Structure 1
């Protein structure tokens, strides 16, 4: 009797040892996605980026901020998000996320009437008053746009002071009662006065925000880009 019992125990052990255990395969690792943006549009994209990254668990998005001047040399980003159309070249896929308006702005205490565009233009070109004229470094996309549209391809007065970024210009305009400059709409703060322009001119100051890729996006990238577009549409309604 004992022999039979041990025989069945032994047989059961053999069967168990030969039976493969079915394990669930591990979930796939998220695909790393490198997204590069410019400092100009960080206020526009930060919330949408976090929301869309969370809604697409199949990707692991790293967000980097680089100056626009360094972007043409950067070929390693999966997506580059910037203002304007200067970097759309052959072999680049471009997807518009939305628009950004650029405004001429001043401190509310400025001592002259800036409702006339000619006055503003001449102050930018050759200010002879005690105004604080502010611009950006040469080659900065905002300066290029304003010199083309507002100054009619002219150049800022050599007396103009230089702000390195819109945040610095905002702080200066808030503090200096005679300050005049220009910033993207997403950088506006309470206490900054928008200088009114003719609607046709202000319309030209509206710039596209584009997402650029070096190859046609796959399903994961497309889902992330579509989410950014939808988020932008919802925010601007």
Structure 2
């Protein structure tokens, strides 16, 4: 004998079975992703390599989103930025800094074209090249090529440090050409046999030859600083800690000198 259930009774039985099964299983709730904390960082072109360390720190702290702004150094800190990177101590007393931390040191180095066999200069010869007193590399044992001087714009932090260490009040030759940033300086020096310029050592490449100037090299070492107009809050503080002691610091030490208290 066949037993037939009415549709309503069959539906009731199925609903009861489903309630029983769901009651015996645990409810799985998805963990919401952490809220992104946006950190704005401003840095000058000279410190562009530090941006790679910043990206490493963000990868280690996925709750942080980074907004990078590359801009020339100005007389005051970027008021929009949570952190500002600078090479050298702020020279203006009008710059208000609530927090400052060193993450390394940068060395400014003299560079010449790869075809130039000279790898060492005296400070007197370097000043002679930059001021125009020496017009041909052959005058100091280099190739028979006219000297082509490359500098940065007036007010650039690299130029301020370099001129102060080398020129002793003298003026750069009026024939000098201007590179806006280290990338342009590298391209210019690599492209001309008689060219001479200077770059942060973190930018050094096989395209140019580094030229030692031992008497002034210590003066060309500058601190790499992280500055803030107000006390850093949670995410910027985490980022700063990574740059000082974490994975970011490991990457910085691969391209910069370690910070030393003086």
Tell me the TM-score range normalised by the shorter chain. Answer: 0.7 to 0.9
Preserved contact between residue 106 and residue 173 of structure 1 (Cα < 8 Å)? yes
Q: Report the equivalent of 1:116.
A: 122
Give the conservation status (yes or no) of the 8 Å contact 2:165–2:220.
yes
Structure 2 counterpart of 1:30: 36
TM superposition outliers: structure 1 runs of 4+ over 4 Å: 21-28, 111-114
**How far apart are 1:23 and its partner, in Å?**
7.2
Aligned-residue offset at 1:203: 1.4
In the alignment, the residues of structure 2 paired with residue 38 and residue 108 of structure 1 have an alpha-carbon distance, to the nearest angstrom, of: 27
Distance in 1 (alpha carbons) for counterparts of 2:111 and 2:70: 26
CA contact (8 A) 2:77 2:84 kept: no
Which range moves more in the overlay, 105-114 or 88-97?
A: 105-114
Measured after TM superposition, the shift of residue 113 of structure 1 is 8.4
* Equivalent residue for 1:94, pick from 89, 100, 103: 100
Q: Which of these residues, 151, 158, 164, is aligned with residue 135 of structure 1?
A: 151
Indicate how the Cα distance of structure 1 residues 24 and 87 shifts in structure 2: closer, same or farther if over 3 A, else same. farther
Secondary structure at the aligned position of 2:89 is classed as coil
Q: RMSD of the alignment, in Å?
A: 2.8
Give the superposition deviation at 1:75: 0.6
Asked if 1:190 is matched to 2:196, the reply is: no
Larger radius of gyration: 2
Partner of 2:172: 156
Alignment of 1:53-72 (within 5 A): 53-69=58-74, 72=76
CA distance in 2, matches of 1:55, 1:191: 33
Deviations along 1:153-199, one digit per CA (max 9) or x if unpaired, are 3321111111111111111111111111111111111141222112x
Name the counterpart of 1:79.
83
1:45 lines up with 2:60 in the alignment: no
* Aligned pairs, number: 217
Local SS of the residue matching 1:74? coil
1:125 aligned to 107, 120, 131, which one?
131
Runs of at least 5 residues in structure 2 that lack an aligned partner in the other structure? 1-11, 13-26, 136-145, 255-262
CA distance in 2, matches of 1:95, 1:194: 29
1:211 and 1:133 map into 2 onto residues whose CA distance is 32
Question: CA–CA distance in 1 between the matches of 2:31 and 2:129?
Answer: 68
TM-score, normalization by structure 2: 0.73
SS at match of 2:79: coil
Question: Aligned-pair distance for 1:128?
Answer: 4.7
- 2:196 corresponds in structure 1 to 180
TM-score, structure 1 as length reference: 0.80
